[in-house]
C-alpha cells in the first residue's frame, strides 16, 4: 500500500515523463519491498518556480540568472 | 487542532461536494476525538489525472480504457 | 483513488478511534464522491505536542496552562 | 537539509511576498538550527478558497459573509 | 530540486532497503527528468499499521485476517 | 489560516528550538501576509537519518563519512 509523492518544479514535464515517473516509482516499491502494484499510488505535484525556494532564492529568479 | 488533507483526482468536484467533504471531515473529528471545529482545518487537493498513478498507470490512461 | 491524511496531536488516540477515523473518512469519499473503498487510503499521523504549534505556542505548553 | 511546506489560501500572494516567505523560512532554519541554506527547500502551496475549510465552512463562504 | 516522499507501513523495512529506495528514487529523477542528485531529497515515512487504512479497515486488522 | 510543515532530520532538536521554529514561522506569516496567529498551525516532523536521502545517500551514512 505505498503512497509516493513526487514534487518537481513546473517546467514542461510531459505526459510521457509523468508516465515514466509513475511506472518507475511503482516498480521500485515492487523490487525493493515486494509491494503490490494495484494498491501503489504515485502522485506528482508540479510547483510553480515562483513558489519553490532553495538557498534563500526563488527558482524563477535562479533560472533567470543562469 | 486537526489538519485533514484530502487528495482526489480533478474530475469535476463541485463546490457543494467540497463543502460536504469539509463539513463531514470536521464532524468526524468532533464525533470521534471530541476536537474543536474552529481549529479544524480541511484542505482539498485536486490532482490532474495525468499526475496520479495506480498499478503502474496514469489515471488519465485508465479512464480512456474503460 | 482518494488519499486522506489526518494529522492530530499524539494524546492517547485509541486503536478503536483510529478505526472509526478510517471508516468514517472512507465512507465520506463513498457518500460524497462515489469513490471506491478498496482504493481509498487513510493515513493518520500522530504529532507530539511539542511539535505542533498554534498562535505562536507549542500545544504542550498550552495544555499545561489550562 | 530542511524541507518547509507553506500552505496558504490563494488570495493574491505576490511574487515579492513569496520571496519574503522563502528567505524568512530559510533564515529561520539557519538561525535556530544552524542548517545550510543551499540544501534548504521551501515550497509554497496556494489553495483555492473553495478547497480550504475551517470550522465546518469553506473559506470562500466565510469571506463572503464578512 | 525534486522532493520525493515515500510512505509505507512500518513492517520491518531494513536500512539497506531504505538505501535502495533512496538511490532508486534519485536515479529515477536523473533518468527521466535530468535532475541534479545533490539537490534531490527523498524522505521515507514509516506508518504504524494501526494508522493506515484501506477499504474501511486498518492494515493491522487486515494482516491478522490473512 | 496558514499551515506550515517543517521537516528536519531527527538529530537532537530541543524543546526550546521547536518553540523558536513555531514562533518564528508564525511571525513570518503575520509579517509578510498579515495572517492571524490564532489560526496559524506549525507542525514539525523529525525524520530519522536513515529515512532521509540526498544525492543518492542516506543522511546517516553521510554523517559517518564526515
Least Cα distance to A52 among D19, B12, F15 occurs for D19
Q: In a mutagenesis test of the B interface, which of F41, F42, F43, F44 is the best target, namely the one with the most B β-carbons within 10 Å?
A: F41
Torsion sign across C-alpha atoms F22, F25, F31, F36: negative
pLDDT in tens, A18-29: 999 999 999 999
pLDDT in tens, D7-40: 999 999 999 999 999 999 999 999 999 999 999 9
Q: Which residue from A42, A45, A46 is facing B53, i.e. has the nearest CB? A: A42
Which chain B residues have a beta carbon less than 8 Å from that of A46? 51
CA distance, residue B15 to nearest chain F CA (Å): 20
CB contact under 8 A, E51 and C44: yes
In angstroms, rounded to a whole number, what is the distance separating the alpha carbons of residues A32 and B35? 39
CA distance, residue A8 to nearest chain E CA (Å): 5
C18 touches chain E (CB under 8 A): yes
Quote the number of domains for chain A.
1
Q: Do chains A and E touch (3 or more CB pairs under 8 A)?
A: yes
| pLDDT reading at A44 higher than 90 | yes
Report yes or no: C42 and C7 within 8 Å, Cβ to Cβ. no
E7 touches chain A (CB under 8 A): yes
| pLDDT reading at A66 higher than 80 | no
Q: Which range marks the domain in which residue F37 is found? A: 3-65
CB atoms within 10 A of CB A66: 4
Neighbours of chain E (3+ CB pairs under 8 A): A, C, D, F
| pLDDT reading at D62 higher than 80 | yes
Q: What are all long-range contacts of C54-57, with beta carbons under 8 Å and residues at least 24 apart?
A: C54/B1, C54/B39, C54/F38, C54/F39, C54/F40, C54/F41, C54/F42, C55/F26, C55/F37, C55/F38, C55/F39, C55/F40, C56/F22, C56/F23, C56/F26, C56/F27, C56/F37, C57/F19, C57/F22, C57/F23
F43 touches chain C (CB under 8 A): yes
Which residues neighbour B54 within 8 Å (Cβ) at sequence distance 6 or greater? A38, A39, A40, A41, A42, B62, C1, C39
Which residues neighbour C33 within 8 Å (Cβ) at sequence distance 6 or greater? B8, B13, B17, B21, C2
CB contact under 8 A, B2 and C5: no
- CATH number of the CATH domain containing F50: 3.30.429.10
| pLDDT reading at B28 higher than 90 | yes
Overall average pLDDT of the C17-44 stretch: 98
B45 touches chain D (CB under 8 A): yes
Least Cα distance to E10 among B24, C44, B20 occurs for C44
Torsion sign across C-alpha atoms D32, F50, C7, D1: positive
Q: In a mutagenesis test of the F interface, which of C45, C56, C61 is the best target, namely the one with the most F β-carbons within 10 Å?
A: C56
Which pLDDT score is estimated for C66? 72
Q: Which residue from F47, F50, F56 is facing E23, i.e. has the nearest CB? A: F56
Higher pLDDT, F33 or A66: F33
DSSP D1-66: --EEEEEEE-S---HHHHHHHHHHHHHHHHHHH---GGG-EEEEEEE-GGGEEETTEEHHHHHHH-
Q: Predicted confidence band at E27 (pLDDT cuts at 50, 70, 90)?
A: very high
| pLDDT reading at F61 higher than 90 | yes
ipTM: 0.97
| pLDDT reading at A46 higher than 80 | yes
Neighbours of chain A (3+ CB pairs under 8 A): B, C, D, E
Sheet (strand C57-58) strand order: A57-58, A52-54, D41-47, D3-9, F3-9, F41-47, C52-54, C57-58
Q: Which residue from F5, F17, F29 is facing D5, i.e. has the nearest CB? A: F5
CB contact under 8 A, D43 and A50: no
Overall average pLDDT of the C38-42 stretch: 98
Which chain A residues have a beta carbon less than 8 Å from that of D40? 54-55
Which pLDDT score is estimated for A59? 97
CB contact under 8 A, D3 and E39: no
C1 touches chain A (CB under 8 A): yes
| pLDDT reading at F41 higher than 90 | yes
Amino acid at each position: 500500500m505505498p503512497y509516493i509523492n513526487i514534487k518537481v518544479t513546473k517546467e514542461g514535464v510531459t505526459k510521457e515523463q509523468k508516465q515514466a515517473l509513475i511506472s518507475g516509482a511503482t516498480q521500485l516499491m515492487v523490487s525493493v519491498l515486494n509491494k503490490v502494484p494495484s494498491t501503489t499510488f504515485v502522485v506528482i505535484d508540479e510547483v510553480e518556480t515562483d513558489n519553490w525556494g532553495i538557498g534563500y532564492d526563488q527558482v524563477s529568479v535562479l533560472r533567470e540568472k543562469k
